[in-house]
Structure 1
Amino acid sequence: MEINQLRHFLAVYDNRSMGRAAKHLGMTQPALSQSIRRLEETFGVKLFDRTARGVVPTQFADALGSRARTISLEARGVIEDIDALRGLERGNLVIAASPGPSASIVPEAVKRLHRIRPNLRITVIEGTSDNVIAAVCDGEADIGILPEWKTRKDYELAGEPLMYGMMVVVAGRSHPLLKSATIGWKDALACAWLLAPKGDLLRLSFEDILKRLDLELPINHVESASASVIRNLLSSGEYLSFLPRDFIINEEREGTLVPVQISGGNTWKRDLYILYRQKEVLSPAAAALIKQLHSATADLAREVGWIDVPARHKRGKVMEGKRKR
């Protein structure tokens, strides 16, 4: 059995199609089918049932699935470790981040890391907190950056604090509400709003705040999880939204989006965490990224004044090295 055969197996297992898996791997379908047949011969069992609509994993494929993913990830880590020791500084690094950090801290950390490791191939995936957790759990991402996290039953996760930030009500600079000397919650809730979809952490946080104030969600609202849609609609000056302040950090610098000062409460706590798989040793690339994330966050905190960082990182001291298995 070869490592590449496990990669081929996982592509078919995840895509449920030989054609889609072959396209994902950049190989021909006959070559992929032959690789799967050899793997089936090695184990002496049938891994997939072929149907007109694709392939269906057998019980043997399900049993192999999680172990094959772990072996594949470990093999990739070994290759990257050896390359790092040889001074080649190559490898792949996948980062999954929620919209806030992907707009502020992640780009700066990636830029700094790429300067010192130009041969490293870096991929950044943006998604909701649930998407980030799933990507880290399933091995699609090496590191996750998100506001909250929880351990999934099928994989033990570990997290460390990156930033202590805040949530704010946001508006475009031309929003008519900003002309008022004082703005109350009832005035704000009478406006049109942009809200995160039901069940999203942002939406749940906003609902909790309103519940404690004995207020209802605004009737006039649009729901979207798209960062570009949210930014564009807010810039029109017709909507309010409840967002992480780091999500609008670039627009706030430019003056296109601004936090709204609401009497009776202006800001709410919002922490960011770095997430990784506790059972695995971090690759040198992932450890280097974490170092740059802490460095970039500490610099940002000094610039804006409303961000705080863990005490051990305030003077550039960062957590280095590998985590225990």
Structure 2
Amino acid sequence: MEHRQLVHFLAVLDSGSLTAAAQRVGLTQQALSKSLSRLESELGGQLFVRETRGMTATRLGESIAEYAREIIASAGKLRHTASAALGLERGRLVVGLSPIAAASLIGERLTQFAHNFPNIRIDVEGGIDRDFVAALHRGEIDIALSSQVGGQYDGILLEQVFVEPWGVAGCAANKRLQDAQSVADLADTKWILGRNTDLLDDIIAETFSNAGLPMPRPGIMTTSVLYSLHAISQSDFLAILPRSLCRDQNGVMWRDLSGGAWKSPIYLMRRKRAHMDELMRVLLRELKG
């Protein structure tokens, strides 16, 4: 079997569609189908059931998926190592970084690592934990640093490296937020809320309930952190945001009104069977402080 056949197999597996997979790998559907057929012939069994809704992996397909991911990831790492050894490129690491991790102490440590090792190229890819899991399996990134990890992922190691506090953020001139002693002082407040507090919703609701208030209802709902920060700095709206995202924002005040109860861990994510070279070991030591 060929390396590219495994790439084609994983593209179909991850997208669930022959059309989307063909676009991803830059082939026609007919060429991709032929590649899959050759791989099935070599393995002696069918890898997918072709249904009207898309492509569903058979038991054989599911059983070889993790091995295929390991081969693809290892091949990518081999190319990077060989290129560095031959002097064709500098040492290189690809790091996935979520917005909260990027703004936290972890982001600062990554920047300091790049400063300390100027011959190392660091490629930083934005995203969230679900994006990083797929990219780690495909060997597209070496590690990821992310908050809001909602459980365990097959084949992925999670290690907590930081805890990010959350609080109420608003305009620096907002007298009500300045004087508030707890969320009980924020009744009838206008809120901008996002969908990035999922794992904190229960404890946030409990804090407001203990203060005799319902869970905040959004006057504005957004997935844009940049919009939230701009809007609260220009209005009397309040938002629930991580401290790191607010600390360097002009015109924004951040208050811990939960007694430290609102906090989310930041995890280092990497593949369980990924090769650990010296460069990676040094980076992990730097990130953990």
Shared fold per TM-score greater than 0.5 = yes
Q: Give 2:32's aligned amino acid.
A: L
TM-align CA RMSD? 3.6
Which residue number in structure 2 is paired with residue 68 of structure 1? 68
Q: 1:185: Cα distance to partner?
A: 2.6
Superposed CA deviations along residues 15-42 of structure 1, whole A, max 9, x for unmatched, are 1222211211233333322322221121
Aligned residues: 285
Superposed CA deviations along residues 291-310 of structure 1, whole A, max 9, x for unmatched, are 5645xxxxxxxxxxxxxxxx
Which residue number in structure 2 is paired with residue 307 of structure 1? none
Q: 2:164, 2:155 → 1: CA distance?
A: 28
Q: 1:85: Cα distance to partner?
A: 3.2
Which residue number in structure 2 is paired with residue 193 of structure 1? 191
Q: Normalising by structure 2, what TM-score?
A: 0.77
Q: 1:81: Cα distance to partner?
A: 2.8
2:230 corresponds to 1:236: no
Q: 1:15, 1:220 → 2: CA distance?
A: 34
Q: 1:3: Cα distance to partner?
A: 1.6
Question: Residue 276 of structure 1 is aligned with which of 260, 270, 284?
Answer: 270
Q: 1:200: Cα distance to partner?
A: 0.9
Judge conservation of contact 2:16–2:54 (CA < 8 Å) in 1: yes
The gaps in structure 1 that reach 5 residues or longer are: 295-312, 314-325
Which residue number in structure 2 is paired with residue 106 of structure 1? 107
Which residue number in structure 2 is paired with residue 116 of structure 1? 118
Which residue number in structure 1 is paired with residue 78 of structure 2? 78
Secondary structure of the 1:250 match is coil
CA change 1:117–1:135 in 2 (3 A) is farther
CA change 1:94–1:12 in 2 (3 A) is farther
Which residue number in structure 1 is paired with residue 251 of structure 2? 256
Q: Percent identity over the alignment?
A: 25
Superposed CA deviations along residues 167-219 of structure 1, whole A, max 9, x for unmatched, are 222102343525x6555432223311233449712333423433555653234
Q: Give 1:217's aligned amino acid.
A: M
Secondary structure of the 1:116 match is coil
Q: 1:101: Cα distance to partner?
A: 1.8
Pairing of 1:125-164 with structure 2 (within 5 A):
125-127=126-128, 131=130, 134-135=133-134, 138-139=137-138, 141-147=141-147, 152=152, 154-155=154-155, 157-161=157-161, 163-164=162-163
2:201 corresponds to 1:203: yes
Q: 1:291, 1:84 → 2: CA distance?
A: 22
Q: 1:82, 1:151 → 2: CA distance?
A: 35
Q: 1:27, 1:94 → 2: CA distance?
A: 28
CA change 1:198–1:59 in 2 (3 A) is same
Q: 1:230, 1:110 → 2: CA distance?
A: 25
Q: 1:267, 1:59 → 2: CA distance?
A: 44
Q: 1:116, 1:149 → 2: CA distance?
A: 31
Q: 1:86, 1:64 → 2: CA distance?
A: 33
Judge conservation of contact 1:191–1:240 (CA < 8 Å) in 2: yes
Q: 2:31, 2:20 → 1: CA distance?
A: 13
Which residue number in structure 1 is paired with residue 7 of structure 2? 7
